[in-house]
A and B are shown apart, each in its own frame.
Chain A
């Protein structure tokens, strides 16, 4: 039981990261119908940018993170602008286009930061906390707290602001949205920028947990996508549940299958998504017809 709970806790912080990735990914998927493969590499850029501002420029962790989010938000705007001619026309081509952008971002990262990668020191030190014999790293708590704040902010933005409502309206019916005066292209661009910002947040947070390098996006990104699909692409609760599901699965797979954990995670995920292609909350998403 002790081991079980410890493994569970071990999956929580990565689960929160996957949930953040899934939220950004779903936001873009829901508003534009686009599977954004560059999302993972935007995350990697975010991780590098945050670690650079934090470690080299010696800015406080929070400021470094905010700057990284701004930088990647701009990258998101560029990607959306370049691929805009394909919007609502050919989603497969757009998907391939985002893979092209991913290749570019990886190459740029190597040119700027080199091919070796770096370790990022944790912004909060101190010994792990102990509760009833379970050890929890303080940084894991920070990650969970920041992710929770991000979820609340995003939900608040979508539920309570005019722009957030407009973005949801565009996702549901872009013609009716146009008729009430919403600029669909601008709304998509903002969705893309927020998605990229969420990726940067995930990247910045994951830096101190893992090793930062140009290809780090691969596994985290795919697991984030998997979390989004598992949750039923397109809603926040789905992304959170999916994220923690993948995080915990990850943690147990690492405990039981050691080196083969990734293989096991993807096999389990594939089987799960085949049994329920719409994901856990899939029925709740609106049709785009």
Chain B
């Protein structure tokens, strides 16, 4: 689902750090996501992956570094306006609006756009096309959906803003292997449609299949980078995961 005014926008992160109180969760990391590229950030729990994404969104204070998306300096953009620069966000743990209907959740994804112009209706149709189950459940309360359906809804909500880059935080969390396969199929389809992806995952297999390049994080730092194909064969990855 490329945006109408697709520009060559690269996400560039340099020297980014995140501190909570006295704890350094992310220590001067850097990477980039080119237009149409899909990049994964993998690592064990607590490696600083979620903090990295939240820092990109401006949801946690950044203690240093540069974040650029195309011509925009994202460090100067308020969290609520990031979506207006073409970046969609799928939070960890889904975070749908539980007391609102599925369709209302999706419409809120397009909050930054006008609800009256044709684009929003089109986006809704496309999301329903991508996730037919959401169409079936459109008037159901989001809180009553299963975990897998909520994840689809969270992805669909992010797509409603017609982003050019989508940030996904552990979409496989708490899902059964079958549902993880479904998520993978969705990610592959998004990639094929030309969307840039930044996928934060603990599930390395999913990430290697959904992305072309990966960053491996350990203790808030970048431990390795490489193409997903290379890393898949690298025994170091397992070492980092299992702390051996």
Are A and B a genuine interacting pair, yes or no? yes
Whether a CB of chain B sits under 8 angstroms from the CB of A271 is no
Please state if B100 and A180 are interface contacts (CB–CB under 8 Å): no
In the assembled complex, the Cα of A179 lies from the Cα of B89 at a distance in Å of: 7
In the assembled complex, the Cα of A286 lies from the Cα of B144 at a distance in Å of: 12
Whether a CB of chain B sits under 8 angstroms from the CB of A40 is no
Within 8 A of A (CB), among B95-127: 95-100, 104, 107-109, 111-112, 115
What residues on B are CB-neighbors of A183 within 8 Å? Answer: 80
Decide yes or no: A176 and B95 within 8 Å by CB, A182-B80, A184-B80 being known contacts: yes
What residues on B are CB-neighbors of A166 within 8 Å? Answer: 108, 111
Decide yes or no: A181 and B81 within 8 Å by CB, A165-B104, A166-B108 being known contacts: yes
Whether a CB of chain A sits under 8 angstroms from the CB of B57 is yes
Decide yes or no: A175 and B97 within 8 Å by CB, A165-B104, A180-B161 being known contacts: no
Whether a CB of chain A sits under 8 angstroms from the CB of B83 is yes
Within 8 A of A (CB), among B68-84: 79-84
Whether a CB of chain B sits under 8 angstroms from the CB of A169 is yes
In the assembled complex, the Cα of A182 lies from the Cα of B79 at a distance in Å of: 9
Chain B, interface size category, equals: 20 to 34
Whether a CB of chain A sits under 8 angstroms from the CB of B223 is no
The interface centre, meaning the residue of B95, B112, B157 with most chain A CB atoms within 10 A of its CB, is B95
- The contact of A168 among B82, B89, B99, B112, by CB within 8 Å, is B99
What residues on B are CB-neighbors of A172 within 8 Å? Answer: 97-100
- A204 to chain B minimum Cβ distance, whole angstroms, is 31
- The contact of B91 among A169, A175, A181, A286, by CB within 8 Å, is A175
What residues on A are CB-neighbors of B147 within 8 Å? Answer: none
Whether a CB of chain A sits under 8 angstroms from the CB of B143 is yes
- The contact of A178 among B80, B84, B97, B98, by CB within 8 Å, is B80
In the assembled complex, the Cα of A165 lies from the Cα of B89 at a distance in Å of: 19
- The contact of A181 among B80, B98, B115, by CB within 8 Å, is B80
Please state if A179 and B83 are interface contacts (CB–CB under 8 Å): yes
- The contact of B143 among A178, A180, A286, by CB within 8 Å, is A286
In the assembled complex, the Cα of A177 lies from the Cα of B100 at a distance in Å of: 12
Whether a CB of chain B sits under 8 angstroms from the CB of A162 is yes
In the assembled complex, the Cα of A169 lies from the Cα of B100 at a distance in Å of: 8
Whether a CB of chain A sits under 8 angstroms from the CB of B175 is no
Please state if A178 and B99 are interface contacts (CB–CB under 8 Å): no
- The contact of A176 among B82, B97, B104, by CB within 8 Å, is B97
Please state if B99 and A286 are interface contacts (CB–CB under 8 Å): yes
In the assembled complex, the Cα of A165 lies from the Cα of B99 at a distance in Å of: 10
Within 8 A of B (CB), among A159-212: 162, 165-166, 168-169, 172-173, 175-184
In the assembled complex, the Cα of A165 lies from the Cα of B111 at a distance in Å of: 10
- The contact of A286 among B84, B98, B112, B115, by CB within 8 Å, is B98
In the assembled complex, the Cα of A169 lies from the Cα of B83 at a distance in Å of: 16
What residues on B are CB-neighbors of A286 within 8 Å? Answer: 98-99, 143
Decide yes or no: A181 and B59 within 8 Å by CB, A165-B104, A168-B100, A286-B99 being known contacts: no
Residue of A nearest to B79 (CB): A178
Residue of B nearest to A184 (CB): B80
Please state if A168 and B97 are interface contacts (CB–CB under 8 Å): yes
In the assembled complex, the Cα of A175 lies from the Cα of B50 at a distance in Å of: 14
In the assembled complex, the Cα of A169 lies from the Cα of B110 at a distance in Å of: 13
Please state if B109 and A162 are interface contacts (CB–CB under 8 Å): no
The interface centre, meaning the residue of B99, B100, B112 with most chain A CB atoms within 10 A of its CB, is B99
What residues on A are CB-neighbors of B109 within 8 Å? Answer: 180
10 shortest interchain CB distances as A-B pairs: A181-B112, A176-B95, A181-B83, A179-B89, A286-B99, A172-B97, A169-B97, A181-B111, A180-B111, A178-B80
Q: List 14 A-B contacts (CB under 8 A).
A: A162-B115, A165-B107, A166-B108, A169-B97, A173-B96, A176-B91, A176-B97, A179-B57, A180-B108, A180-B161, A181-B80, A181-B81, A182-B111, A286-B98
